[in-house]
Amino acid sequence: MDTIFALASAPGRAGVSIVRISGPLALMAAENFGIKKAIPRHALLRTLRDADGEVLDSALVLYFEGPESFTGEDVIELQLHGSPAIITSVLRTLGDMSGLRMAEAGEFTRRALENGKMDLSQVEGLADLIDSETEAQRRQAQRVFAGKLGEIVQIWRRDLIRAAALLEATIDFADEDVPVDVRPEVNQLLSDVQTSLKSQAIGAEVAERVRNGFEVAIIGAPNAGKSTLLNYLAGREAAITSSIAGTTRDVIEVRMDLRGLPVTLLDTAGLRDTDDVVEAIGVERGKARAEQADLRIYLLAPGETPLFPMKADDLVLRAKVDLYDDLDGVSGVSGVTGHGVDSLIDRLATVFTERSSLVATATRERHRLAILRSLEYLTNARNMLRDSAYGEDVIAEELRSAIRSLDSLVGIVDVETLLGEIFASFCIGK
């Protein structure tokens, strides 16, 4: 296998930059820099020199001996002064060394997967951890990266393998007197796994929202103060505000961290009938996005009724309360004075925190679909168990199919088509 290298820290000027080298020639590369007798897991301060003996930098050198390293191979990490000129010189020197090449995107992590240092779900967890922007995203990604999904899959596999073994035992001893009916025990094992799988499938939908962010659509009539409220929540002029009705023509998105939860606010076109073709398109787009959003905030003028079907947890608030003295007991908000905004944020945080409590260890749509496939096979198997017309060999095959679906979660089988897509999201040095 080639020895690869890359900048493992962010490009540009920094206090410290890290260059990572992995593969069978990693130690040789270090020696070519003038680093002698690297000691595993000991930090050494050394002067790096190029092939002509010119000093490149004074660096902290770390050696991780394979297989006890991130990739499972010999790994050298050079902690350099974060000068773009130094980084360029070091990478150029590495590129001139025989047998070394620049790493591809995600190649270090892919080698960790291929060398058994991580399973596929952990790779996805690492990608999510790198991309996490909020505390909820960090916690969720950390659980997957720590291998929690793999641990649960092993429990499911253990129970299903046990169930299949019981069934296959009756096949092996079909000509002998087997005194115990294994079907009740098999049915109980399958029931327990089904319950756990269903919980994970439900939680995976919520986890996907935590990964990508909850969407909140601000809707209402033209000039209801939607854009003003969006700007107040965002803390900047994200949307154009005007007294002219119909200013907002397209959906404006603002992503924010709402008390540790990722939330995307959507400012939509005012709901009304209009002869303006462009505005009409904007209204329809706004309705479509509002329908798909996780929650809607309807800003209501006095005497008005909502013109959009509202759902559980949706909020109906009196708009522009800074202009009114009598609110008639209706909760109101103002994007000008900030009146009611704290209460609004509290409500949003409460709703999304409650939903996030359902988060499962499975966090991606791929995970959910694999779990649903496995559930389908288990449902078939349990139905067959109750019907004596089906033999144990047929039922056991359904269980093997269920196990294969679960194996795809952690990359034991059938994952080659996924790898390119997954690793494409990684940076070069990871």
Binding residues: 20, 77, 117, 223-228, 242-248, 267-270, 430
Residues annotated within a binding site for GTP: 223-228, 242-248, 267-270
Compute the CA torsion angle 316, 319, 322, 327 (nearest 10 deg): -50
Residues annotated within a binding site for (6S)-5-formyl-5,6,7,8-tetrahydrofolate: 20, 77, 117, 430
DSSP of 166-217: HHHHHHHTTTS---S--HHHHHHHHHHHHHHHHHHHHHHHHHHHHHH-EEEE
- Using left for φ > 0, alpha for ψ between -120 and 50, and beta otherwise, residue 402 falls in alpha
DSSP of 311-355: -TT-EEEES-GGG-S--TT--B--TTT-TTHHHHHHHHHHHHHHH
Residues annotated within a binding site for Mg(2+): 227, 248
Beta bridge partners of 296: 217
* Nearest Cα to Cα of residue 128 among 428, 422, 409: 422
Phi and psi dihedrals of 262, rounded to 5? -80, 125
Quickly count helices (H) and strands (E) in the chain: 13, 11
DSSP of 234-286: HTS--S---SSTT---S-EEEEEEETTEEEEEEE----S--S-HHHHHHHHHH
Residues annotated within a binding site for K(+): 223, 242, 244, 247
Rounded distance between C-alpha atoms, residue 103 and residue 429, angstroms: 7
